[in-house]
Amino acid sequence: MFKGILIEKDEAGYRTSLTDLDEGRLPDGDVTVRVSHSTLNYKDALAITGKGPVVRRFPMVPGIDLTGTVEHSTHPDYEVGDAVILNGWGVGETHWGGLAQKARLNGNWLVPLPRQFTPQQAMAIGTAGYTAMLCVLALERYGVKPEHGEILVTGAAGGVGSVATAVLTRLGFTVVAVSGRPAETEYLKSLGAVEMLDRATFATPGKPLGKERWAGAVDVVGSHTLANVCATTKYRGIVAACGLAGGMDLPATVAPFILRGVTLAGIDSVMCPRRERLEAWRRLGSDLDVSKLATISKEVGLTDVLPLASKLLNGEVRGRVVVDVN
């Protein structure tokens, strides 16, 4: 038996509990992992609260991230005792996830724990941090360089935004943070942001084109914010869009794209090919100041996860949440 969070949906309704689970209930897979840590991402909070259609099979153990040690493996790349991490691939959505003390997985989904990080640090990064790195890689792929000007990061005090701010700063970019939390100004400055803008100024309908300011942007908010970010991005700038914290819609015009050559780069972490994942984790190993992770993250236990999920959706959680599942 092992402990885990279980989401059930039946005639009694949608409900989530911390419970004892039998190992025989684990799904099929060629690697069994003794989980040490998981995380609480925005998507996990949607799954746990039932506020978003994240879970597509019930009952489900949520948790799109995990790290731990291989306990059993018939996969050629993994042996008992190997330290591994997992992000995405539908884990916590269609396949039992990381918010439990054990997981059984497809070995092709796993990535070796990068040697630069402890298990806690890898989960302080988690899907949010790895997605932030995918956004940075997109900016680089399209040729954005520090000398081109300021980079805007929206939802900056959240998980993706915090890691994006820290990594971009370390790479020499000038980061301007958008946040709804003035109380986090010092926090964002400690990660490297040079200025903080109130998210309210981005959240309402704006003009098709505004004054050109950003050489690039990382957006986790979507909706009017993403439209306004595109409208104020400089000629041939890049906007990496990965989130919907402010809404799934995109009430924009094509003006920034056809008149300023702005590129909207979509970022998905879930099905991202293994080669790019490995590259993102390699770059996190070299371009994220690990000393910042203690500021960015806090650690909780499995019993804390349910109340924290609602707080996270209300935008009341700063940075990243690491869950010690034991």
User: Is the link from the previous residue into 273 a cis peptide, with omega within 30 of 0?
Assistant: no
Residues 134 and 144: their CA atoms lie apart, in Å, by 14
Q: Is the Cβ of residue 60 or residue 265 nearer to ligand NDP in the bound state?
A: 265
Residues 86 and 75: their CA atoms lie apart, in Å, by 15
**Cβ at position 218, least distance to ligand NDP in Å:** 10
Asked whether 114 and 282 are in contact (CB, 8 A), the reply is yes
How far, in Å, are 126, 154, 278, 312 from residue 319 at the CA level? 11, 13, 23, 10
Q: Is the Cβ of residue 144 or residue 309 nearer to ligand NDP in the bound state?
A: 309
Q: Is the Cβ of residue 155 or residue 216 nearer to ligand NDP in the bound state?
A: 155
Q: How many helices and strands, by DSSP H and E, does the chain display?
A: 9, 15
Asked whether 3 and 19 are in contact (CB, 8 A), the reply is yes
**Cβ at position 230, least distance to ligand NDP in Å:** 16
Looking at residue 151, the DSSP 8-state letter turns out to be E
**Cβ at position 266, least distance to ligand NDP in Å:** 8
Asked whether 315 and 199 are in contact (CB, 8 A), the reply is no
**Cβ at position 157, least distance to ligand NDP in Å:** 3
Q: Is the Cβ of residue 250 or residue 270 nearer to ligand NDP in the bound state?
A: 270
Q: Is the Cβ of residue 78 or residue 202 nearer to ligand NDP in the bound state?
A: 202
Q: Is the Cβ of residue 148 or residue 159 nearer to ligand NDP in the bound state?
A: 159
Residue 15 — φ and ψ, nearest 5°? -145, 150
Which candidate, 180, 182, 261, places its Cα nearest to that of 220? 180
Residues 36 and 56: their CA atoms lie apart, in Å, by 25
Binding residues vs ligand NDP (CB under 6 A): 41-43, 127-128, 131, 155-161, 179-181, 199, 203, 220-221, 225, 242-246, 267-270, 312, 315
Residues 322 and 311: their CA atoms lie apart, in Å, by 15
Q: Is the dihedral of CA 89, 95, 100, 104 positive or negative?
A: negative
Residues 222 and 285: their CA atoms lie apart, in Å, by 28
**Cβ at position 147, least distance to ligand NDP in Å:** 27
**Cβ at position 62, least distance to ligand NDP in Å:** 14
**Cβ at position 244, least distance to ligand NDP in Å:** 4
Q: Is the Cβ of residue 20 or residue 198 nearer to ligand NDP in the bound state?
A: 198
**Cβ at position 187, least distance to ligand NDP in Å:** 9
Q: Is the Cβ of residue 5 or residue 160 nearer to ligand NDP in the bound state?
A: 160
Q: Tokens 């009952």 appear where? A: 59
